Structure 1
Amino acid sequence: MIARFVTKLRDEPISGRLFKNLKWIFSSQIIIGLLGLVYLTIAARALGAAGLGMLAILEAYARIVARLTHLEPWQAVIRHGSDALEQQDSHRFGRLIGLSVKLDLVGGLLAAAVVLLLAPLVKTHFGVNADWMPYAAALAVLFSLHATGISLLRLFDRFDILAKVDSGMAALRTALAGAVLFLGLGLPGFVAIFIGISLMQGALTYAAGVWEMRRKGHRIEMHGTSTSLSENPGFLRLMINSNLAVILRQTTQRLDVLILAVLVTPTAVGYYHLARRCGEAALRIGRPINQAVYPELTKLAVRREFDRLARLVKGIGLGFAGVLAVVLSGVIWFIDAIVIGLFGAEFAPAVPVVTIQAVAVGLYLIGIVLGPTLLSLGEDKALVRVGALTSALFFALIIPLTTLLGVSGAALSHLICNGVWLLLCVFLVRRSLRALKDQTT
């Protein structure tokens, strides 16, 4: 199955560029995933389950507010930027990037303002008893041009630069965590790491993207917002719908921690956070495919080469299914030894949560390319509807299942919703491709 997956990709004319990008992203994501586990091990041993739970609540609060208020334009920029570059319209491209910069700046300011506005709610309901923590969260989301930087680097196929920035930030975060542990700085030290890395990663990604843009002979044009919107019809719709799809999914991945903070103790939240972080490390195996393949899917869709698009998507999905069947069985077999060996005996109660979360992540990885596929086919509204349905299902399940099973119930909610999401996305991709093929014949 894996051999067939590789063969399908190599048979495509885009394989050279795609494999080059995948090489950089895969290597960086493996490094980041391993460093993330080292960081998590250090944080778990430095803070204990209760302290790790407090850190999880702060990070979840900052990120969910930023996700809801800062609409990232990178998907729309890649879609319309590809068209502008194809037509060699440098001024249109420069105005488009200028629009993206303005959206990023406004989004960061709005996110920080909402974080501060909701600070009393956080201290009252989520057990955050340090007055300074909401201000720390506001600072972490205040200035971010990360989305614009990502769109530029991906448009110009500079996944190597993006990989180096991300890997460097992961290495720095891990080194700082070791220093915080050695100096005994506790929770404030890890919060400072969260703020510093959030700001630095966004700034470096943006700087690298602008450098590459100028090297290609383009310049950012900050004027002409209305002109840019008229030149790129559907930009705002695509930006809103693509963000809504991500928001609906990530609210279940961020708001779950805040819901659990109300239902269970910080120690139990710490167990759940550990399971989620382990799952995120695994997701880094799949995200490279997602990131590298979206620009290629968009180009194939624009050219109406739907058979090639279908072969690419099917090959990736089958390849992931084969790999995961082998890897997941091995991980689950040794899960007790892995969790206790890495994080200590204090986290032994997290083993069932980690096991359920591993299966949930596996289901998502099998269909990770389906979201970008639907966006490239113009099915952004359908993707939003799927996200809304699965999010509603998650929020309907998490409280009763957590009440019944503890934090394992929250992980089980993710597993059920990921299964439903996978089935719906497969159905929508197949239906959309059939309809588009019929239109071309």
Structure 2
Amino acid sequence: MKRLFGNIGWLLGGRGFNAVLSLVYLALATRTLGLAGFGHFALIVALGQTVTGLANFQTWQFVVRWGAEDTGPQRAVGFAMALDLLSIGLGTVLAAGLVWSAQFWLPLPTELLPLAFGFCVISLLSIRTTPVGIMRLHFVYGRETAADAVQPAIRAMGAILAALYMPSVAGFILAWAAAEVAVAAAMWFAASRVERIDPRQISLTKLPRENPGAWRFVWATNFSGSLNVGGKQVMLLLVGAIGGDTLAGGFRVAAQLGQALVQLAQTVSKAIYPELVHARETAHAIARRMANIALIAGFIAVLVAIMVGRPALALIAGPEFRVYWPMVILAIAGAFELVGASLESLLVSAGKAHVAFFCRAVPTLLAFLLLETSIGWMGLKGAGFAVLGSSALSVVGFWVAIISLSQIRITVEEPPARPR
């Protein structure tokens, strides 16, 4: 637990640095571009993150799980790098299809579509889950935090330059693209100082031959990670498709401020997963303790959002963005995600990634199906309620699954004594 909290401390320090600078570039982007322009910007960023989220194989979990085996991390890293290359190829095809079809369902001007495709490709080339996995395998969270800090720093500097010299959607997208490239380079450099990168080990077949369950784990974690990351961006795209660019811009601001807890949940998940893999005997106790702490932290964070959310919105985004209640609703959704982070990690570390995927897939699909009705009912607040319902149902699913698996394990390990 001491090491776990130390690792969380490193990651939270990085998140805190990111959060402070994110307020800077959020304020610059919203006030420079206005509600409609920021909506276009948000949709392009969401397209890039959707493509990356759906194509990315979440190789960091694979490196942590299989790199800890007796064979060493080289084979796992080589397989992860091969998966990254596959992600880039598949993602580029997906990006071409999404951007080409965007003219029929997204409120994006035609002249911005080439820019959107370019950002998608840059995002794919900047996939960095494998170096992240290398550093987490060796528990060097300080180096990961230092490398990750490159992204918000470049974004903030790029946003300042864009506001001064290129105050347009293209200017801010270029700043975001530069940040993606810079942080990917920093991550690979930091990882190479921890573990030697051997290009000869890059292969999609070597490790699966030795570990028959490898592909099942890869696909399960990919589907679950795609839902967790890409699903939230798909939600923003659907909000834009249903409600237009101004609604998309408002939803992005509400989500970025209200769902800061989701970032915290991802931080907890990233720190706890390697510990659960290495400490199988005490995994349930660690996850339960972290969930209890998360429950208290989530409650406090929601209270803070309620009390200071309105003046914070006025200060950062300006009076044009009236999204206080959607922000509060999304903050509550973030609290649920915070509690569920350790529960989901426990399922994945126990080899039940497919169960975690199912627990998240069904609520996410329901949210997508009910989104248009929700927006027609209460506008942005309705969209927030769709996200809240999805998060709450997912966490309940994680909890029920863990209880069921625990009972099965007890039944198997401790059969009832035979009567004498």
TM-score, normalised on structure 1?
Answer: 0.88
**Aligned AA (2:279):** L
Candidates 396, 399, 402, aligned match of 1:423? 396
In 2 relative to 1, CA 330–103 (structure 1 residues): closer, same or farther, beyond 3 Å?
closer
Q: Which residue of 2 aligns with 1:144?
A: 126
Q: Which runs of 4+ in 1 moved over 3 A?
A: 218-221, 249-252, 437-441
Residue 21 of structure 2 corresponds to: 35
Counterpart residue type for residue 230 of structure 1: R
Q: Are residues 1:241 and 2:226 paired?
A: no
* Contact kept in structure 1, 2:63 and 2:76, CA below 8 Å: yes
> Closer, same or farther in 2 for the Cα pair 1:128/1:31, shift >3 Å?
same
Partner of 1:296: 275
Matches within 5 A, 1:332-371: 332-347=306-321, 349-371=322-344
Q: Is the counterpart of residue 24 in structure 1 residue 10 in structure 2?
A: yes
The unaligned stretches of length 5 or more in structure 2 are 415-420
- 2:76 corresponds in structure 1 to 96
CA distance in 1, matches of 2:127, 2:228: 22
Work out the number of aligned pairs and report it: 412
1:4-15 pair list within 5 angstroms? 15=1
**Per-residue deviation at 1:184?**
4.1
* Residue 186 of structure 2, aligned match among 204, 208, 216: 204
Q: Secondary structure at the match of 1:345?
A: coil
Question: Secondary structure at the residue paired with 1:71?
Answer: coil
3-state DSSP class of the match of 2:107?
Answer: coil
Correspondence 1:108 to 2:93:
no
Partners of 2:51 and 2:192 lie apart in 1 by 27
Counterparts of 2:206 and 2:245, CA distance in 1? 50
**1: distance between equivalents of 2:182 and 2:166?**
24
Q: Helix, strand or coil: the match of 1:132?
A: helix
Equivalent residue for 1:118, pick from 98, 104, 124? 98
Secondary structure of residue in 2 paired with 1:369: helix
Q: Is the 8 A contact 1:94 1:219 kept in 2?
A: yes
Deviation at 1:346, TM superposition (A): 1.1
Residues 283 and 223 (structure 1), Cα distance of their counterparts in 2 relative to 1, 3 Å cut: closer
Q: SS where residue 173 of structure 2 aligns?
A: helix
- Residues 180 and 186, structure 1, Cα contact 8 Å, conserved in 2: yes
Once the 2 structures are TM-superposed, how far is the Cα of residue 70 of structure 1 from its aligned partner? 3.2
Distance 1:30 1:425 in 2: 28
Question: 1:153 — aligned with what?
Answer: 135
Equivalent residue for 1:67?
53
Instruction: Tell me, in whole angstroms, the C-alpha distance in 2 between the residues paired with 1:227 and 1:422.
Output: 36
TM-score by length of 2: 0.93
Q: Cα 1:334–1:26, aligned 2, differ >3 Å: closer, same or farther?
A: closer
* AA at the equivalent of 1:127: P
Tell me how large the CA RMSD over aligned residues is.
1.9
State the percentage of identical aligned residues.
Answer: 21
Contact 1:272/1:407 (<8 A) preserved = yes
- Residue 4 of structure 1 is matched in structure 2 by none
Which one-letter code corresponds to 1:315 in the other structure?
Answer: R
2:303 matched to 1:329?
yes
Alpha-carbon offset, residue 277 of structure 1: 1.1
Alignment match of 2:285 (pick from 301, 311, 316): 311
Unaligned runs of 5+ in 1: 1-14
Shift of 1:410: 0.8
